[in-house]
């Protein structure tokens, strides 16, 4: 990792993981969907920390590079699968399906970049991450409203 990007990149991933973990500790005794949502948030936080940790050393050798790429691919796949689950299990509104399509389009662009067909990784990450963030916030708000009633 380049020294000039080390601090902002590290802060972004570390703070994202911390905030996701904090969200996973929302007080509720509910079973089912809220419990699954909390578990998914914890898994996401762990994946974000693994991406961060693997980033620090991936240029040292080919094995560490493979670990970093593998962790990043698993994270992107997890976010896409979680996005589908959020829309199917919690959100279900037409606008959320549109956001899901954007997230999956970002995933497809990332997959195409990984396969070497196109080279738009930054755009793919921006689209997929922004859409995933919207779905996370909307799902959290929906669950909070349902538990609060």
Residues 61, 85: Cα–Cα separation, whole Å:
36
Residues 149, 137: Cα–Cα separation, whole Å:
18
Longest dimension (CA), the chain: 53
Rounded mean pLDDT, 51-58: 88
For residue 148, what pLDDT is reported?
65
Is the pLDDT at 22 greater than 70? The verdict is yes
Alpha carbon dihedral 145, 80, 82, 88, in 10-degree steps, equals 70
Rg over alpha carbons for the chain, rounded to the nearest Å, is 16
Is the pLDDT at 63 greater than 90? The verdict is no
Rounded mean pLDDT, 51-69: 87
For residue 28, what pLDDT is reported?
61
Is the pLDDT at 3 greater than 80? The verdict is no
Return the SS3 of 27: coil
Rounded mean pLDDT, 53-63: 85
For residue 57, what pLDDT is reported?
84
| Locus of tokens 């195409």 | 112
Is the pLDDT at 1 greater than 60? The verdict is no
> Structure pTM?
0.88
């Amino acid at each position: 990792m380049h020294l000039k990007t080390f601090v902002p990149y590290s802060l972004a991933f570390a703070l994202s993981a911390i905030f996701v973990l904090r969200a996973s500790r929302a007080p509720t005794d509910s079973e089912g969907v809220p419990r699954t949502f909390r578990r998914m948030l914890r898994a996401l936080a762990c994946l974000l920390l693994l991406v961060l940790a693997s980033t620090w050393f991936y240029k040292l050798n080919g094995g560490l590079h493979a670990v970093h790429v593998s962790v990043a691919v698993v994270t992107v796949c997890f976010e896409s699968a979680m996005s589908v689950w959020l829309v199917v299990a919690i959100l279900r509104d037409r606008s959320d399906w549109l956001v899901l399509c954007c997230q999956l389009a970002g995933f497809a662009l990332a997959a195409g970049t990984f396969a070497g067909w196109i080279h738009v990784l930054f755009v793919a990450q921006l689209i997929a991450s922004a859409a995933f963030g919207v779905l996370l916030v909307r799902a959290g708000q929906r669950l909070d409203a349902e538990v609060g009633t």
